[in-house]
Structure 1
Amino acid sequence: MKKLFTALCLTGMVLGLNAQNFTFEPAGEKGLTIARVTQKGETWILREGMEGNYIDYVPLNLPEEMQQEGIDVVFEGVLGKIPANVRMMGKPLQLSSIKRLYRASDTATDAMDPQSKKTKAPQDSVVRMGEMEGVIRSTEGRWFIYVKEKDIERAYLPDNLPDDFKVENLSVVVTGMARISRNDGSRRLRITDMIAYEEKKFDADAVQQPMEE
């Protein structure tokens, strides 16, 4: 981890040279954090917390594909120092990783809760699934999450897979409620949380300024 921190510090110094008005000075590590992407003027922000009680971070190297209003992400990186007497849009941040996050609403997950009266198929087995590593693939026009369980790959048909997660061979970690048919053994899944694991390339030349204009 120290090697990663040192490498990011050096990268931050280079970014500081590219940015005309701001020099990135490392101030500590930021562990895995859930945030929402939003925009202040022309600047993209990672907002941790709820409205009225939140912290804004300005990622200097946010990948272009993550510059989407309102998407949830999981990130980690290195925080930068805030210069004295300078107003900033948020805490400067040099990202080391960022992944998309999907969180279902409570009403969506209640539909398959074994304790819920809304459960539609009492003859089926409904099971809470912990974190499962899987791969998203399209088969015969439908999107499945393939999960390896004890050397057996099983296909789960998700009821609420978001459109931006419908990517062939996308690796994910997912939790949710699974309904297993007692008739044919087919498996449906109501997603609770899902993180997409994609390799993100950070462009050292694409640097946004954290200062307020």
Structure 2
Amino acid sequence: RGVEVSFFVAIVVTGITMLVGVFVGLVAGFYGGKIDRVLMQITDVFLAFPGILLAIAFSAVLGPGLVNLMIALSMTGWVSYARLTRGQALGLRNRQHVLAAESLGASVPRLIFQHILPLLASVLVVEATYSLASVMIAEASLSFLGLGIQSPDASWGAMLRDGVRYMLVAPHYVLIVGLSLMSLILAINLGGDSLRDRLDVRTEK
């Protein structure tokens, strides 16, 4: 049951943060200038603090619970997508096919969604796999601190917290949960590495 909740939280949070971060990054990279500076300054403010500390702060303000946990994680996880998308969009903005489409009168949404965003798909998919692992760790950490998922919903973080009191008499309880979480995170990261190698055209086959 714990793995179902972890996957649900990770997928929802990753989807929300990707949408917000990609939107901010595309707008900043496409328009540049003052808009770029303002959006990146806001992003830098969030990057100035460790993400887990901001998540703890938001969770403490919102209170424990599944929905509040996803809101807290979503408010801090979009910045990596924004920086990544903005950096890629700045280079793609001046590609010949984009300039040609713009000279032919293509609208801004068409330029973004048909000529720039498709070229970012592989990079964003790989980033999303790593984001899944990061969100799972953050969810378990907040639940361990009592700021995340509460009973009767299951969570590996809450299970670890409950098992700490029995460490001396039943250490296997904590070890099994911890190893299960570690194995899942490792599998996701290895899958992300494999996916990156497959999608990277510069990698020799």
TM-score range, shorter chain: under 0.3
Q: Which has more helix, going by share of residues?
A: 2
Q: Which has more strand, going by share of residues?
A: 1
Q: Which has the higher contact order (CA 8 A, sep 6+)?
A: 2
TM-score (norm 2): 0.24
TM-score (norm 1): 0.23
